Every structure is written in C-alpha cells, then in structure tokens.
Amino acid sequence: MFSKILIANRGEIACRVIKTARKMGIKTVAVYSEADKDALHVEMADEAVFIGPPPAAQSYLIAEKIVEACKLTGAEAVHPGYGFLSERASFPQMLAEHGIVFIGPNPHAIEAMGDKIESKKAAAAAKVSTVPGYLGEIATGEEAARIADEIGYPVMIKASAGGGGKGMRIAHSRDEVQDGFDRARSEAKSSFGDDRVFVEKFIVDPRHIEIQVLGDKHGNVIYLGERECSIQRRNQKVVEEAPSPLLDEATRKKMGEQAVALAKAVGYDSAGTVEFVAGQDKSFYFLEMNTRLQVEHPVTELITGIDLVEQMIRVAAGEPLTVTQDDVKLTGWAVESRIYAEDPYRNFLPSTGRLVRYRPPQEGKDGPITVRNDTGVYEGGEISIFYDPMIAKLVTHAPTRAMAIEAQADALDAFAIDGIGHNIPFLSALMAHPRWQDGRLSTGFIAEEYPDGFFPRAPEGELVHYLSAVAAVVDHIQNTRKRQISGQTSGVPVAFAKRRIVNLSAGEDTIATPCEVEAVDGGYKVQIFDTDGNPGHAHLLRSSWKPGEPVWTGTIDADQVAMQVRPITNGYALAHRGIATKARVYTELSAGLAALMPKKENAGGGKELLCPMPGLVVSIAVTPGQEVKNGEILAIVEAMKMENVLRAERDGIIKAVHAKPGDSLAVDAVILEFA
C-alpha cells in the first residue's frame, strides 16, 4: 500500500479523497493554484504544492507540474479526481514513465472509453445497444447540419472529449445545428483542449441512468447498481439518486451485465461509470463511459456500503477485489443535491464572492436517516470565477425513497449560506414537487416544469400557519429581549399589545394571519385566529433558537421543522420547503397603517445590456449603429467554464459598446447601450 499520494485536483473531490486516504493511514499532498492558496483541500492535506496561476490551463491541466510535485514530495501515486487530467490517457502514461502510479484505469481503457466517439464504436462491437448517430469526426457546421438532416431532429451535438455538460448542445433545426456546433467546439476547446464533436439522435423524453462498475488488475469486474441522474439543467446534473425509480430487477441486471461486458472488453481496472439513455419503457442505449470517479458516487456508496475511493486506491496498489457480484446488496435509498453558486432567480447564472456564512446541516446518522455533506469550502472562503461553481453535495440516505426525499428537504432547509447566490431555494422546491416525488422523471424535467425560470413557491395550506407561527415566536423572543435592556427610561411601563398580525408576502399579494403568542413550559403556544377574530388552531413550538442564528430548528406540534430566518425591517425573511417569503410582524394598529403605505414602483427603461454574472467577455457580435433583431446574438460571456450567449430581447439599434473581448466584468456591468 502507498504511504503518500498526491491529489491532482481541487475543491470537494480533493477533500473527499483526503478523507479516505486519512482513514487508510496514507499521507496526502494537495496541489493548488494562486486562486486556491487558502482553499480547504490545501488545509486538509499533509503537504501542499503551488502549481501556477488561477486559470486551470496554466495550473491544474499541466501534467508536468503534477509530476514535479510528486518528485518534490515523494508521492508514490496520484488520484486525479474528476475533470482536469482524470480522463487524459497521456497523463497516466507520463506518470508511469516517472515511476508514479495512477489511481485510475489503465491508459488503454481511457483511450478506448474516454473518447466518446471511440467508446461508441467499442460498445457497438461489444453488442451493447447504441443510439443512432454519426461516430466520425465532423469538420464543419455545414457537414454537421447535413448529418443531422439524415439522422432526423432533434440531435445532440457533443464534444468527443466532453463531460459535465460542457461542449454539448441540443438542436431542433438545421439553423440550431450550425450555432450549436460552433458553441460546442469552442467550449470543448477551452475546457478539454480538444474541439472534436460528434452528432447523434436525441431521444425524446429520455432518462439518464448510469451503472457504476469496479474492476481490478486481475480481470475481475463487478457492477454496483445504478444511479438515476435525469434531473439536469443545461445538460448538467443537479439531483441524483440511487437506485432508479424506473428500473426493475431484471432491467437492472441486464444493464449491469452489459456494462460489465463492455468494461471487460477494454480491460477496465478501476472505478468507472457506464452511462445509458433510457426510454420510459425501460429501453436503454449506451451513451458513454466515464473512466473516472463520478461526482455523484456518494449515493452508490450509501446504498452499497462500499467506499469507492478506497477501492480505487487498493486496486491501483495491485490488490484484487474482495467483493464479488453476489456480495453487492442495494440497501435503502440515497438522494444527492448539488449545491451550486448560482442565482436561481436570475436563470441560474453563476454567482461568485465570499461565503459570509456557510453552515451545513449536521452530518451523521440519526435513527434510520444518514446525512452526508461533501464539500470543499468553508465560511469566509471565496467562490472563484475560474472553476466549477459547486459548493457542496448534500446526500441523504433512508430505508425508502420517500423518507430519503423528506430527509433531503429537511437538510436543505437547515443549510445556511449567505454572501453569494445559491440554488438551495430551487432544490428545496424540487423536493416538494409532486412529479419528482412520484418518480416521473426525464432529462427535460426542469425545462418542462420551470419553462419561465424558477420562482419561489408562494405560502399555502398548513405551511402558512407554520411560517406565521415561527415569525411570531421569533418576534416575541426579540421583543422580550429588548425589554430586558438596562438603562431604559423609567416611568409607566409600556403596554405591549397581545395580538399580532403576521403578513406573509406571496408575490404581489399579502397573506395576513392574526395570532397571539404565549410562553408555556419549554416552548411557545401560538393561537391562530381567522380574519373575523375567531380562534382557530393553536400550535406548540419548541426550539433552542437564539437571536442571530440563521436557522430556526425545532418542533411545531409533532413535526420536526427547520426554517431559514433572516432579519428585515419589521420582520423576517423566511425560507422553508422552497417557499421564500417576507414575514412582517405588526400590531393590529401598525398593520392597518402599513396597508395604507404606497407601493414603490420599479423604474427602468431596458436601454442597456448588463452582464448577468461575473465573467470574461469572449466576443462582442455587434457595433455602434448596427440594427439588431429580437433573438440576435449580442455578446458571449464565459463564467465558470460555461459560455453564456446574450441575445437581444427586442428589435433595436446599438448606441454604444462599452466592453471588448477579454474584459473581466462584474455582475450588472454595462456591456452595451441601445438607442
């Protein structure tokens, strides 16, 4: 076994590998760019080596720097994580030349399976069902359009060396093929240094299901069940689960055996994933093979009890697998949410900045529920523009799918992040979505269910009382505390009105809930009244919450509840189960006066194109004086390895252009003006 390994990666996956290495008694070496000098993985590792400037192409993607770091520290092996150099066959070859072990598959398997075009040819030769498409290299957009016409629309344009949704476009027409081809090639070149793309038929209403395989250097290969990864946005996975609610045992076995046959055909000898696109009728077709550890590997670990990183290390050291196919048992259900630095209210545009507050839920096992949080950040740390926007992967495991989803919803409600935009509100709303809860999934789920973008759920049903009760109790605690401040003016004590009106914002509307709060033994009784003043249900709230804490955690009657609480004028911003609302707590007199206040109208003429996120200007497609039509491309801005096309939302004339290619812009910076 190795005594020291180097992790050629950053962020949460570097931290994840360090945890297992530490458990195995193996020392670790981190590498870091200038942007990551204060990163968590650098702090966690036993040693750290600086490898260059922030852009990955000048640091994490330079194999020679990794080799130098190994020589400097005496690391015997390298774990590549995912992304960066993990699927580049030349990397393990270079390591081998210097006597360093690669913790991953052999170069032949990476070449055969890591290349999306070659892997489809290999799969077809191994009698694995494949999606109709053109597997050769395509030189021009015109050629891509001709091939797409022959295959039939819609088609998928995909980078041969791609992964993680990068270099991928869906085209529904000939015109979209041309633009998609150019964008896919550009993204592929910048992300992977390889601009080859191919075209294949896009399966309508598909599901994305993948099989985890594990092989050793002695010819043994097993599969560890499947993962459902159909909840995607822009081809980027958002929520994963294991097992899949679609598959039955017979289909699982068939998919697993095909995956193993393919892995054996190329002599696969590490952890890897065979991805399939599946129809709602349980038909499935080979999509690609990822010759590395997957981002979503924790859900498989939780249902199988097998540490995949540990197995990768042991296999790389030459040990045979100690687990046979008959030993693999799937227990319970696991759900993983990817928490990204992005603003769900601005079409999920990337968000960067400092994590002013980062308080994940408590990890560990509580009865039948397990909560796990894989992360590479910490409170006070910086979310950089240069890398993937992932903050954490929140995973829950329970005996059933419904329980795992409920546990995930609870954990998301208890996850406090301030300082940047993040997608927890969207993930929380998703957990409450009936279609998700029923398992009626497809890769088009988000586009179909949120066609106009994401907006927070409005308070409704029993949750109106829960939100109002928490706001009333928090306000009561704050008022009680204020009365205890010393040095107050003496005289007649202030008589505080007992009745409170909690106004919850619901879009343009307000939901008013009259209530009274009474301290009882170990908690608070909140009596709810209807609008006519008649008493309704009374709720008992118990919590150890203290002013200043961002999450109210406790019980409402018999229900365990976690709720985000942030102070605002006359109340609190609350978030719970995907509902985001402002709760203003008034006396009856104040509520009446507040209702008379005029509403502030938003001003703005839409005369400027603003940069929607911090990013780098890739290109400007217009010049001053040029006429543009609705939908025409104005500029392309790159952020966190993704190119974002900014289009005209109406016809107009360009008055002035304030940015140029290569400019680094802040959010809402003016790119150009319309006349």
Token pair listed for 617? 């200007």
Decide: helix, strand or coil at residue 606: coil
Which of 518, 428, 505 minimizes the C-alpha distance to 468? 505
Q: How far is CA 282 from the centre of its chain?
A: 26
Q: How far is CA 239 from the centre of its chain?
A: 7
Q: What CA–CA distance (Å, rounded) separates 175 from 154?
A: 12
Q: What CA–CA distance (Å, rounded) separates 370 from 375?
A: 16
Half-sphere exposure of 537 (CA within 13 A, CB side): 14
CA dihedral 233, 234, 238, 241 (to 10 degrees): 90
Token pair listed for 481? 């505390």
Token pair listed for 655? 């008055």
Q: What CA–CA distance (Å, rounded) separates 464 from 286?
A: 47
Output the DSSP codes for 82-102: SSTTTT-THHHHHHHHTT-EE
β-bridge pairing 523-529 and 509-520: antiparallel
Cβ(289)–Cβ(211) below 8 Å? no
Check if 288 is active-site: yes
Cβ(375)–Cβ(410) below 8 Å? no
Output the DSSP codes for 612-644: SSSEEEEEE---TT-EE-TT-EEEEEEETTEEE
Q: Which residue has the tokens 């039939």?
A: 152
Cβ(582)–Cβ(505) below 8 Å? yes
Q: Which of 275, 288, 296, 342 is catalytic?
A: 288
| Omega before residue 243 within 30° of 0, cis | yes
Q: What CA–CA distance (Å, rounded) separates 311 from 321?
A: 8
Count of other CB atoms within 10 angstroms of residue 507:
9
State the distance between the two ends of the chain, measured CA to CA, in whole angstroms. Answer: 68
Q: What CA–CA distance (Å, rounded) separates 374 from 309?
A: 13
Decide: helix, strand or coil at residue 149: helix
- Burial state string for 238-260 with b = 16 or more CB within 10 A and e = fewer than 16: bbbbbbbebbeeebbeebbebbb
Q: What CA–CA distance (Å, rounded) separates 118 from 111?
A: 8
Whole-number Cα distances in Å, 405 to 428, 439, 582: 10, 11, 26
> Which residues touch 452 (CB under 8 Å, ≥6 apart)?
none
Output the DSSP codes for 407-433: HHHHHHHT-EEESS--SHHHHHHHHT-
> Which residues touch 440 (CB under 8 Å, ≥6 apart)?
none
Helix H, strand E, coil C: the string for 296-354 is CHHHHHHHHCCCHHHHHHHHHCCCCCCCCHHHCCCCCEEEEEEEECEEHHHCCEECCEE
Q: Answer positive or negative: Cα dihedral of 415, 418, 423, 426.
A: positive
Long-range contacts of 148-152 (CB under 8 A, 24+ apart): 148/174, 148/177, 148/199, 149/174, 151/199, 151/200, 151/201, 152/201
Q: Which residues are catalytic?
A: 288
